[in-house]
A and B are shown apart, each in its own frame.
Chain A
Amino acid sequence: MKTNILGIYEDEDVLLHAIDKLQADGIVVADVYSPFPIHGIWSRLKLTTRLPYATFVYGAVGAVAIFMMLYWMSVVSYPLKFGGKPLNTLSFIIIMFVGTIFIGTLLTFLTYLGREKMFPGKQVILPDPRSTEDKFVLVIAKPEDMNDQETKHLMKMLKETGATEIKESTVNDHE
């Protein structure tokens, strides 16, 4: 069974410095659980997201699709004149604008849920439930061949960086 070593911190600035120190010593910080987003963490853990690109694609495809729909309905399928205005009009822009936002918003939200594998009623177990409350939980994956002495050394290092509590956890993938 895979084991993780958890360092629990009380303060986000202490945590950020701890990550710097641990990384300088060549220790890989696997993850951090926090009650709110901490902006400094993402660059330190080299995390990125491609969500904005997805949104752009949804918006671009949505705008074109809606224009095609409007054009086909108003010009091709049933060309009906309203008030002497041209069939293919500039005022399509309004439905295109709002429709693009509709498609972009909905698909971005669904993509977000999909990438996070989140759905209504999903059951999860957190390494330490207090990370939704007031604790910052730093996770280091413990290699299988790590002996007791190395483990102790790692725990001591965590203590030095300001962790108020250090423990081992067998929670993996939140199961």
Chain B
Amino acid sequence: MYNTRVRGILIKGNKTYSDVSRDVLRPLDAPTPIWWWVTAGLAIIAMAWGSWAFYNTISTGIGIWGLNNNVGWGFEIINFVWWIGIGHAGTAFSIFLLILRQKWRTSINRAAEAMTIFAVMAAGLFPLLHMGRIWDGFFIFPYWNTRGPLWDNFNSPLFWDVVAISTYFMASALFWYMGMIPDFATIRESTTSKIKKKIYGAMSFGWIGNAKSWLRFETAALLLGGMAAPLVVSVHSIVSMDFSVSVVPGWHTTIFPPYFVIGAIFSGFGMVLTLMIILRKLYSFKDYVTDGHLDAITRILTFISLIMATAYMTELFTAWYSGSEYELFTFMKNRVTGDYTFAYWTMITCNAIIPQLFWFKAIRKNIAIVFIMSIFINIGMWFERYIIVVTSLSKDFLPATWAGYSPTIIEVAAFVGTIGLFVFGVLAFFRWLPTIAISEVKGVLKETTTLKSFTDEN
């Protein structure tokens, strides 16, 4: 009853089961390639620069950022929301597609989940830093303290954020790790290196892979997936409430939760596309991540892009229809026209217009163009967060308090540092972990390679 019809050949090249393990595990045994060292070096330099920014911020205070009384949120919140959005892809990919029984996810979900983990790590650094006095960060936990005990404000979206993001991180990490356990056992049993056998053996938790353990494994995966699926929706809804429960013009709208969730999935899928094109090129995984897989992602992106465009138009309509002059000013005089015109129209172009090119088959088939477009989506989504955070804060109700915002070098360095962290994490994943879910690919291999109807009366 768990079987769905498959759309066509998922894994090309008439692979056998051992071909799958061999192909996926080849990069683990091969010597570290030069591109890896070069990229890792750049990532480490970026992280070092970011650490400098973090050190300066913590030792001096967030006064060294470009924030002012009006624009109290800047680069850090933009980048936090941007990373969290990217971090939505893994779970959206594996879990929604797991629950919808989309078998083409099997070649991609592992990498998407890894991306989630590192993106959420990168995201989490910003609120920590934004606390200012990071050494008092533990105040956020409702622990028994000597100040009353004084508890948290459980009605604050900022507190909800802490709970939601840590839960999301834990659930994604568990789901990701659990999926890798059988693959670690495959490495354990097939490797000839004693050190690898020890390390991967320890990480495989003593996996045996008999009928009962697979039954429990599948059940647990489905349960974890089923529980994490609402998290995908709730995390970004909660992030959006950081904005929408305030009375700032441009933020105080009910469209924010769905708008943020769909934006997160959009940017996440964009980043998955970027990453999978790189991965399949570097490791020659074209038989696993086929043009068909990329085609499926671009189709989803086209659809989500239409929803994004609808959301942008809805925002403009609501601003006009509300009759509130502040709303109208924010959207018409400070976004569509005004000081932030460039950022606004970059956002519209990258998110709502460029992805519509995916309607053309010739463009979907041209991987170079698809790659460039996926980068544009990432840029567009960054500008969306920039628009939301900066335009609304810079010019609100009192013209006397209007202020501009430009980031200082420290803020740029912190952002570059998190990019370094993300890239380094992904590189480590490429180098030492099975980048494609071996056991899941094997599970769909036969029915999708030979297109035989699956004769399972279960």
List the interface of chain A (C-beta within 8 A of B). Answer: 11-13, 16, 31-43, 45, 47-49, 51-52, 55, 59, 69-70, 73-74, 77-78, 80, 82-83, 85, 89, 91-92, 94-95, 97-99, 101-102, 104-106, 108-109, 112-113, 115-124, 126, 129-134, 139, 174
Chain A residue with minimal CB distance to B155? Answer: A91
CB-defined contacts of B443 to chain A, threshold 8 Å: 36-37
Query: What number of residue pairs across chains A and B have CB atoms under 8 A from each other?
Result: 202
Instruction: Flag if A74 contacts B151 (CB, 8 Å).
Output: yes
Cα of A139 to Cα of B174 in the assembled complex, Å? 31
Given contacts A37-B214, A95-B160, A106-B174, A124 and B206 within 8 Å (CB-CB): yes
Instruction: Flag if B205 contacts A82 (CB, 8 Å).
Output: no
Enumerate B203-234 residues with CB–CB distance to A below 8 Å.
Answer: 203, 205-220, 223-224, 227-228, 230-231, 234
Chain A residue with minimal CB distance to B151? Answer: A73
List the interface of chain B (C-beta within 8 A of A). Answer: 2-3, 16-18, 21, 142, 148-156, 159-160, 163-164, 166-167, 170-171, 174, 178, 181-182, 185-186, 188-190, 201-203, 205-220, 223-224, 227-228, 230-231, 234, 238, 439-440, 442-443, 446, 455-458
CB-defined contacts of B190 to chain A, threshold 8 Å: 129, 132-133
Cα of A112 to Cα of B299 in the assembled complex, Å? 37
Instruction: Flag if B458 contacts A126 (CB, 8 Å).
Output: no
Instruction: Flag if A33 contacts B223 (CB, 8 Å).
Output: no
Given contacts A37-B218, A73-B142, A78-B150, A108 and B210 within 8 Å (CB-CB): no
Instruction: Flag if B442 contacts A35 (CB, 8 Å).
Output: yes
Instruction: Flag if B215 contacts A73 (CB, 8 Å).
Output: no
Instruction: Flag if A33 contacts B208 (CB, 8 Å).
Output: yes
CB-defined contacts of A98 to chain B, threshold 8 Å: 160, 163-164, 167, 231, 234, 238
7 additional contacts (CB under 8 A) given A74-B151, A132-B190: A31-B210, A39-B458, A73-B142, A101-B167, A102-B163, A102-B171, A105-B227
- Least CB distance from B15 to A in Å reads 10
- Least CB distance from B166 to A in Å reads 8
Instruction: Flag if A94 contacts B160 (CB, 8 Å).
Output: yes
Tell which of A51, A97, A130 touches B234, judged by Cβ atoms closer than 8 Å. A97
Cα of A13 to Cα of B153 in the assembled complex, Å? 58
Cα of A33 to Cα of B207 in the assembled complex, Å? 11
Cα of A55 to Cα of B220 in the assembled complex, Å? 9
Given contacts A35-B439, A45-B211, A95-B160, A112 and B17 within 8 Å (CB-CB): no
Tell which of B151, B203, B205, B223 touches A78, judged by Cβ atoms closer than 8 Å. B151
- Least CB distance from B408 to A in Å reads 33
- Least CB distance from B229 to A in Å reads 10
Given contacts A35-B186, A132-B186, A120 and B205 within 8 Å (CB-CB): yes
- Least CB distance from B256 to A in Å reads 15
Given contacts A36-B440, A42-B215, A120-B202, A80 and B150 within 8 Å (CB-CB): yes
Cα of A101 to Cα of B307 in the assembled complex, Å? 28
